[in-house]
Chains A and B, each alone.
Chain A
Amino acid sequence: MTIKELSRGLSNGDFSSLDLTNYFLNKEDDVSAYISKLKKSALEQAKEADERIKSGERGELLGIPMAVKDNIMIKGVKCTSASLALKDYIPPYDATVIKKLKEAGVVFLGKTNLDEFAMGSSTESSYFGVTLNPCDKTRVPGGSSGGSAAAVASGLTVSALGSDTGGSIRQPAAFCGVVGLKPTYGSVSRYGLAAMASSLDQIGVISKNVEDAEIVFKSIFGRDVMDSTSADYSFKDIDVNKSELKIGIPKEYFVDGMDQAMKEEIEQAIKDLNVDVVEISLPHTKYALSAYYIITSSEVSSNMGKYDGLRYGFSDNSAKDLIDSYFKNRGGGFGKEVKRRIILGTHTLSAGYKDAYYQKALEVRHLIRQDFLDAFKSVDLIITPVSPSFPFKIGEKITDPLEMYLLDIFTVTINLAGLPALSMPCSKVNNLPVGIQIIGKHFEEAKILSAAKQFEKIWK
C-alpha cells in the first residue's frame, strides 16, 4: 500500500497507526535493511498519532510509519552513520526534517543501513554488514542509502528518508526498483544530517511511487535558520501537460561502456512516453566524475575533522597524549573507504596542490552547471539513465575503488549543479529493475513530480 492509501485507511478508521506500526515492526528483515528498529518509541508515536486522528485531526503523514537513514539525527536515538567511530553515539537533538515529520505525526520505525558515513555506492562498506537487494539477494541494493531503498522495496516500510551527495538516493532506488527524489540543493535543511560534502549533500525521500515522494517532500522542504544554505522556497503544485513538454536527452549520457541491455530499455522507455524529445549536449560531462571526487574528498576531509573521539565516539584509551588520541581514535574508528577519501581530500587541499585540484574542480563544476542552465533554456526536463549497470553481485566491485566511483557517472553531475532529480523504475530485465532519471531546473520539483506521475502510468 502507498502513503495515500494508508492515510485514507487511517482517516476512515479501517485500521489504526498502532496496527500499521506493529505490522511493519513485526515483519522479518531478511535483507538486513535496518541497523536498529525503534520498537518502544514507534509504538508510543503510533498511539499519539491515533489520539490525534481520534480527535478529528487529519494530515497526509499523520500516523504513517517511515524509516530513516542512520546518518540523520533523531534525539535520544543512536545514530551510527554505519561506522565504528559512532557505534554508540546518541545525538542530543533532532534533525530539522525529523522535527517537521514529528509535527506531521510520522512514526519512526527504525534507522536504516548505509555505506559508512554515506561514502559508497553499494552499502557494502557499512560497519554493520551488507544490506541485500530484495530483487535478488545475491546482489547489492546500491548505496549509500541502500538500507532505505531495500526497506521500501521489501515492504518493511512505506517510505524512508535518505541522503544524496553523488547519487546516494537515486542509485539505490534504481537498483531496488523504487522511487527516489533528490531535491534541489538548499530546498531541504541539512541540519541534523551527518555532513559528508556540505556543498553537495541533500536529504531526500525514497518511496513506492511518485505521489508518495511528493507527499513527503512537501513536509520536509523549507528555509531553516540552523542551515544557512537552505533556501526560502515555496512549492506550488502544477499540472504539466505532457503534450507540451520538451524533453532533452544528453548524448554524453548514452555512451559505450554502459550496459547494452540497460541502454536499450531506457531508449525504449523514452519512446513509449510519446513526448517531444530533442538531443542536447552537456559537453563538460566528461570532467564530472573527476570534479566530483576532488570536491567530495576535499569537503569530506574537512567535515571528518570533527571526529576526534573526545566529546563522543570511538576512543582508544591507550593513547599517550592528546595528539596520540587523535591518531588512535580516528585511525581506529574509521573504515577503509572513509580513510581513503580523507587522505585523498587532505592531498587535494594541501599547499601546492590546492589550485591544481580543488580550485580547478570548482571551476569545472561551474562549467557543468552552466551546461545544464544552457540546456534548460530550450527543454523543460532532461531524462537520462541512473546507472551504467544493473545491480551487481555482492563483493564484485568493492575491491576496486575506482571501478566503484565510475558507477556514479550519471548521478554526480546533478549534485554538482545543485539540480533536483527523481529516479524511478521504467522496466525490468530478468527481474532486475531499470531506473530512469528525470532532471529539472533548480526548485522545479513540482514540474518533475507532475511529469513523473504521468510517466509512471505509462511505464507501469
Chain B
Amino acid sequence: MKIAVCIKRTPDSESRFKIAASSAAIDEAGLKFDIDDFASYAVEVALQLNEKQGPGETVVYAVGPDVVQETLRKAMSMGADRAVQLKTDAVPYDGLAVAKALAAELESGGYDLVLFGKHAFDTSAGIVGTATAELLGVPCVTAASKLDIAGGKGTARRELEGAAEIVEFPLPAVVTIDEGIARPRYPSLKGIMAAKKKPLETKPAQLGPVRVTVKSMELPAERAPGRIIGEGAAAVPELVRLLQTEAKVL
C-alpha cells in the first residue's frame, strides 16, 4: 500500500514555555523540538500496515523551514522509505494554508491512504488533516484509535464519551490518528544510519493564503501559594467552610 504521513515538528510538551517578546508566539530559545506525538503514532500505524500487508511505500511529508528535515529523517529512521519537505520560511498558523500546500503535492501521489496526527501539540487546531481531505475530495475519518485496511476498504474505531463507534470507508482516504493506537517504535540505531541514505526531496510549498494569525498569547495566571489552615481534626470545619465559600468546590 502506498501511504503518505504528514508530520509536524513541535516542541517537547514537557518544556517550560515562555512567551516571546512579540507576545504572539512562544519563545523558542532553549526548547527541544521533535516529531509531534500524534504524528509519531501516525508514522507507526503506517509502518505497521505496510509490514503486515507486504510490499508498500511509506512517504513522510512536512511543511516548514530546513529544520524539519531532522524531523523527516527521524521518521525515516523509524522506517519510512522517503521524505518530502515542502519548504517555507515558517509554518503558517492558518491550517487551511498548510492543507493547500499538502493537497497540491499529494494529489498526484497516487496514495491509498494519507495519515495525520489528530492534531499537533503546539496549536491543538486539528484542521490540516480534515482540510486536506476536503481539498483532495476523499473521505476523512478523524481521531482513529484503531485502523484496519482490507480489500480496498478501511475500518476505523473512534472513541466517544462512554462508547466507541466503528466506521467504514473506501480508499483512498485521509485518517487522523488518536493516541493509544500503537506505541511508536524507537528509531533503531541501524535505522538511524540507514535514514542517512534514504531520499529526502525538498520542494517549494504552494501555501494557500494565510488568513488566520495569532494576535497574542497568554499563559495561565500563576496559582496562589497554598495556605495551611490548621492541623488535625480541629482544622476540618474551617477547611470545609473555606472550600464552600472561598474555593467554591463543595
- Pair from one complex: no
**Chain B residues packing against A (C-beta within 8 Å):** none
**Chain A residues packing against B (C-beta within 8 Å):** none
